[in-house]
Copies of this chain bind each other. A is one copy, B any other.
Amino acid sequence: MLQAMHHVLVETKGNGLTEITSEVNRWLAKQKVETGLLTLYCRHTSASLLVQENADPDVREDLLTFFERIAPEGKGLYVHDTEGLDDMPAHIRAALTQVQLSIPVEAHHLVLGTWQGIYVFEHRAAPHRRDIVLHLIGE
């Protein structure tokens, strides 16, 4: 049984979804694991990971609109506002999605569905560099 770890530094463009499927696949292709489990872990509390449709970009726009509606930004809405009005909604939106994702590896490929892409979901307004840890176990 083998293990491998890797850090992917993702430059986000501010609030929105940045696809990292290709970058993850490129790293996986270099590993010697045919069957196993790949775990992605986001080391932040105002960004998260999401598997979503990679076809119609309107899906990502509607997702953003939904999260803006459900956890809106606004003065007086939250107690915690010292890090900016976009910070507390970011924590809530991260809590509603997830910081970790594990995907089985079969025949040297992630078992992602045809329409599934892996995204870093940036919840802050400004661009950030996000540290995503990849852990692979298998053989």
Contact = CB atoms under 8 A, between A and B. Distances in A.
Contact of A66 (B3, B50, B52, B71): B71
Interface residues of A, number: 55
B91 A53 contact: yes
Nearest to A135: B104
A101 to B, nearest CB: 6
Given A44-B113, A100-B101, 12 more contacts: A1-B1, A5-B104, A45-B53, A58-B79, A62-B78, A62-B79, A62-B80, A63-B95, A96-B96, A100-B102, A102-B102, A104-B133
22 contacts: A1-B1, A37-B137, A39-B102, A41-B102, A41-B111, A44-B116, A45-B51, A45-B52, A52-B91, A53-B91, A58-B78, A59-B88, A61-B79, A62-B78, A62-B79, A63-B95, A65-B78, A70-B70, A95-B97, A100-B101, A104-B133, A104-B135
